[in-house]
Amino acid sequence: MAMTLSEVEERVREDVGVRLFTVLAWLPGRRVLHRAHSSHPEQYPVGGEKSVEVAAGWLDRCITAQLPYFGPDEAAVREVFADHRLIAELGCGSVINVPVVGESGTLGVLNLLDAPGAYERSQVARAGELAVLAAPALSELVQRIDEPEEGPTS
Protein backbone atom coordinates (compact mmCIF):
# COMPACT_ATOMS: atom_id res chain seq x y z
CA MET A 1 0.00 0.00 0.00
CA ALA A 2 1.52 3.31 -1.11
CA MET A 3 2.02 6.03 1.47
CA THR A 4 0.17 9.30 1.29
CA LEU A 5 2.25 12.47 1.32
CA SER A 6 0.91 13.19 4.83
CA GLU A 7 2.31 9.85 5.98
CA VAL A 8 5.63 10.70 4.32
CA GLU A 9 5.61 13.99 6.28
CA GLU A 10 5.08 12.07 9.55
CA ARG A 11 8.06 9.82 8.78
CA VAL A 12 10.25 12.83 7.94
CA ARG A 13 9.20 14.46 11.22
CA GLU A 14 10.13 11.34 13.21
CA ASP A 15 13.37 10.48 11.39
CA VAL A 16 14.90 13.84 10.45
CA GLY A 17 12.80 16.59 12.01
CA VAL A 18 11.11 19.40 10.11
CA ARG A 19 9.38 22.71 10.76
CA LEU A 20 8.16 23.47 7.24
CA PHE A 21 7.61 20.53 4.89
CA THR A 22 6.44 20.74 1.29
CA VAL A 23 6.42 18.31 -1.59
CA LEU A 24 6.76 19.67 -5.11
CA ALA A 25 5.77 17.58 -8.11
CA TRP A 26 7.81 18.18 -11.26
CA LEU A 27 5.59 18.55 -14.32
CA PRO A 28 7.94 18.15 -17.28
CA GLY A 29 5.26 18.93 -19.84
CA ARG A 30 4.99 22.50 -18.56
CA ARG A 31 8.37 22.67 -16.79
CA VAL A 32 6.83 23.79 -13.51
CA LEU A 33 6.98 22.64 -9.90
CA HIS A 34 3.47 22.01 -8.53
CA ARG A 35 3.00 22.01 -4.74
CA ALA A 36 1.48 18.61 -3.95
CA HIS A 37 1.67 18.77 -0.14
CA SER A 38 2.31 21.39 2.51
CA SER A 39 2.67 21.44 6.28
CA HIS A 40 1.74 25.17 6.12
CA PRO A 41 -1.13 25.38 3.60
CA GLU A 42 -1.93 28.96 4.61
CA GLN A 43 1.50 30.28 3.55
CA TYR A 44 2.23 27.56 1.01
CA PRO A 45 -1.08 26.38 -0.49
CA VAL A 46 -1.31 23.04 -2.25
CA GLY A 47 -1.67 23.56 -5.98
CA GLY A 48 0.65 26.57 -6.07
CA GLU A 49 3.14 26.44 -8.93
CA LYS A 50 6.68 27.73 -9.36
CA SER A 51 8.49 28.15 -12.60
CA VAL A 52 10.57 31.26 -13.18
CA GLU A 53 11.37 32.09 -9.56
CA VAL A 54 13.25 28.84 -9.05
CA ALA A 55 17.02 29.31 -9.27
CA ALA A 56 18.26 27.67 -12.47
CA GLY A 57 21.21 26.03 -10.72
CA TRP A 58 18.84 24.49 -8.18
CA LEU A 59 16.63 23.07 -10.93
CA ASP A 60 19.66 21.59 -12.72
CA ARG A 61 20.85 20.06 -9.49
CA CYS A 62 17.65 18.62 -8.00
CA ILE A 63 15.56 17.89 -11.08
CA THR A 64 18.04 17.21 -13.88
CA ALA A 65 20.98 15.72 -11.98
CA GLN A 66 18.76 14.23 -9.21
CA LEU A 67 21.12 15.44 -6.50
CA PRO A 68 20.09 16.78 -3.08
CA TYR A 69 20.57 20.40 -2.06
CA PHE A 70 21.75 21.08 1.48
CA GLY A 71 21.58 24.60 2.87
CA PRO A 72 22.81 24.70 6.47
CA ASP A 73 22.11 28.39 7.12
CA GLU A 74 20.07 31.47 6.16
CA ALA A 75 22.55 32.50 3.45
CA ALA A 76 22.08 29.17 1.68
CA VAL A 77 18.30 29.52 1.92
CA ARG A 78 18.44 33.07 0.50
CA GLU A 79 20.52 31.80 -2.40
CA VAL A 80 17.85 29.49 -3.77
CA PHE A 81 14.47 30.71 -2.51
CA ALA A 82 12.74 33.85 -3.72
CA ASP A 83 10.42 33.58 -0.68
CA HIS A 84 13.29 33.50 1.84
CA ARG A 85 11.68 36.26 3.95
CA LEU A 86 8.57 34.19 4.58
CA ILE A 87 10.77 31.17 5.30
CA ALA A 88 12.66 33.21 7.92
CA GLU A 89 9.37 34.44 9.44
CA LEU A 90 8.39 30.81 9.96
CA GLY A 91 11.60 30.33 11.97
CA CYS A 92 13.40 28.40 9.27
CA GLY A 93 16.98 28.90 8.19
CA SER A 94 18.25 25.52 7.06
CA VAL A 95 17.05 23.37 4.22
CA ILE A 96 17.34 19.91 2.73
CA ASN A 97 15.85 19.37 -0.74
CA VAL A 98 15.88 15.79 -1.99
CA PRO A 99 14.66 14.64 -5.40
CA VAL A 100 11.94 12.00 -5.61
CA VAL A 101 12.90 9.67 -8.43
CA GLY A 102 10.68 7.12 -10.12
CA GLU A 103 10.96 4.81 -13.12
CA SER A 104 10.17 7.69 -15.48
CA GLY A 105 12.77 10.02 -13.98
CA THR A 106 12.46 12.87 -11.49
CA LEU A 107 8.95 13.08 -10.06
CA GLY A 108 9.53 15.98 -7.71
CA VAL A 109 11.28 17.18 -4.59
CA LEU A 110 10.83 16.90 -0.83
CA ASN A 111 11.59 20.22 0.88
CA LEU A 112 12.56 20.04 4.54
CA LEU A 113 13.10 23.33 6.35
CA ASP A 114 13.96 23.86 9.99
CA ALA A 115 15.67 26.32 12.33
CA PRO A 116 19.07 27.68 11.28
CA GLY A 117 21.75 25.05 11.89
CA ALA A 118 19.18 22.34 12.64
CA TYR A 119 20.42 20.04 9.90
CA GLU A 120 23.73 18.30 9.39
CA ARG A 121 25.02 16.80 6.17
CA SER A 122 24.46 13.29 7.57
CA GLN A 123 20.70 13.90 7.58
CA VAL A 124 20.64 14.55 3.83
CA ALA A 125 21.12 10.84 3.09
CA ARG A 126 18.29 9.90 5.46
CA ALA A 127 15.97 12.43 3.80
CA GLY A 128 16.93 10.90 0.46
CA GLU A 129 15.94 7.45 1.68
CA LEU A 130 12.57 8.83 2.79
CA ALA A 131 12.01 10.52 -0.59
CA VAL A 132 11.52 7.06 -2.11
CA LEU A 133 8.34 6.72 -0.03
CA ALA A 134 6.77 9.67 -1.87
CA ALA A 135 7.37 8.24 -5.35
CA PRO A 136 4.08 6.31 -5.81
CA ALA A 137 1.88 9.25 -4.73
CA LEU A 138 3.85 11.74 -6.83
CA SER A 139 3.92 9.47 -9.87
CA GLU A 140 0.13 9.19 -9.76
CA LEU A 141 -0.27 12.96 -9.37
CA VAL A 142 2.13 13.84 -12.20
CA GLN A 143 0.39 11.44 -14.59
CA ARG A 144 -2.96 12.98 -13.68
CA ILE A 145 -2.12 16.68 -13.95
CA ASP A 146 0.86 17.13 -16.26
CA GLU A 147 0.00 18.32 -19.73
CA PRO A 148 2.42 19.25 -22.47
CA GLU A 149 2.30 22.86 -23.59
CA GLU A 150 1.47 21.78 -27.14
CA GLY A 151 -0.69 18.90 -28.24
CA PRO A 152 0.79 16.00 -30.19
CA THR A 153 1.25 16.56 -33.89
CA SER A 154 -0.09 13.48 -35.59
CATH code of the domain in which 56 resides: 3.30.450.40
Q: Along the chain (154 residues), what's the average pLDDT of each consecutive run of 10 residues?
A: 92 97 94 95 93 77 95 92 92 97 94 96 96 96 83 53
Within a domain: 151: no
Within a domain: 35: no
Dist. CA 27–CA 62, nearest whole Å? 14
Q: How many structural domains is the chain composed of?
A: 1
Within a domain: 152: no
Within a domain: 154: no
Within a domain: 32: no
Within a domain: 83: yes
Per-residue pLDDT at 52: 59
Per-residue pLDDT at 149: 63
Per-residue pLDDT at 114: 98
Within a domain: 66: yes
| Residue-range definition of the domain harbouring residue 138 | 5-25+45-146
**Closest to 36 measured CA to CA, from 133, 145, 113:** 145
What is the pTM (predicted TM-score) of this model? 0.91
Q: Are 51 and 63 in contact (CB under 8 A)?
A: no
Q: Are 100 and 106 in contact (CB under 8 A)?
A: yes
Within a domain: 78: yes
Per-residue pLDDT at 150: 61
